[in-house]
Amino acid sequence: MTDFSHIRGKITYDRPLADLTWLRVGGPAQMFYQPLDEDDLQSFLKTLPLDTVVFPMGVGSNVIVRDGGISGAVIRMGRGFNHIEIEGDHVRCGVAALDAHVARKAADAGLDLTFLRTIPGAIGGAVRMNAGCYGSYVADHFVEATVITRAGEKRQINADELEFAYRQSSLPDGWVLTQAVLKAERGDPVALHAKMDAQLKKRDETQPTKDRTAGSTFRNPAGFSSTGQADDTHELKAWKVIDDAGMRGATLGGAQMSTKHPNFLINTGGATAADLEGLGEMVRKKVFQTQAIELHWEVLRVGEPAPKK
């Protein structure tokens, strides 16, 4: 039995995860760890047997945890990792800082990270997935990040090491991001906040923001995000190919593809993770059958299916 008595953070076993995800589904984590700070996280990873799988988790906005839960250690990055500090034209933020909070605090300081305002989730996930919208991506602003490797070593990594691409990076499995530094251009705070207000208004008009979703379900086949500009084309957008396949509003159990925006997977109440993932796979199959386009998941699916009865 591994001795974790020196760990200052909280360790819980068989901790249910459904209440920590935006979709409100999923089984338990075999081990659930909430580090106090970077030193505590280093100690934990050095102590944890190397063959134990590690899954870092933020606010659970972009994930389906399968009904059988997650074997290994789920590391929930919380209060010790939600700082936001302005350093000239740079913003240093902990990975648990919400994207929206970073955008607002940057705007207060006259720094333009407005693209983050409508992205659900926290900075850790935004970096890992190279989140973006309105033609801007994390990669465009990224300076460096601090990580704790699976072996418990603290490192600084740059953009070249992360190899950013559309909705992905090459962060090694088991490495845990703790903070990131983003650079931003100067702008007028009033104008920046007005810009974000307009973005929020447009989002609420076009997306099911009141429903249980995990944000965009699939990556755009076009290979880039919506720009929000008047000349933005809808060809090869995920929502468009789903709509063309007749899957707007499609259901499976308690899962539904939104009627408002068909690239949003919704838990209408009582959905299981199997319902949600199964409906997503139905959509992928139908889009491929009708248009020969292969959709790729943007939402992470992690864990094991429920045991068969």
Residues assigned a catalytic role: 167, 216, 298
Distance CA 103, CA 93 (A): 11
Specify the residue for token string 């010790």: 80
Alpha carbons within 13 A on the beta-carbon side of 206: 13
Alpha carbon 10 to chain centroid distance?
23
Residue 287's CB is within 10 A of a number of other CB atoms, namely: 23
Pairing mode, if any, of strands 54-57 and 70-76?
A: parallel
The 3-state secondary structure of 234-270, one letter per residue: CCCCHHHHHHHCCCCCCEECCEEECCCCCCEEEECCC
- Helix and strand totals (H; E) in the chain: 8, 19
Q: Say which residue the tokens 């600084």 belong to.
A: 156
Burial label for 147, CB within 10 Å (0-12, 13-18, 19+), is: buried
Give the separation between CA 120 and CA 165, rounded to whole angstroms: 19
In terms of C-beta density within 10 A (0-12 exposed, 13-18 middle, 19 or more buried), how is residue 276 classed? buried
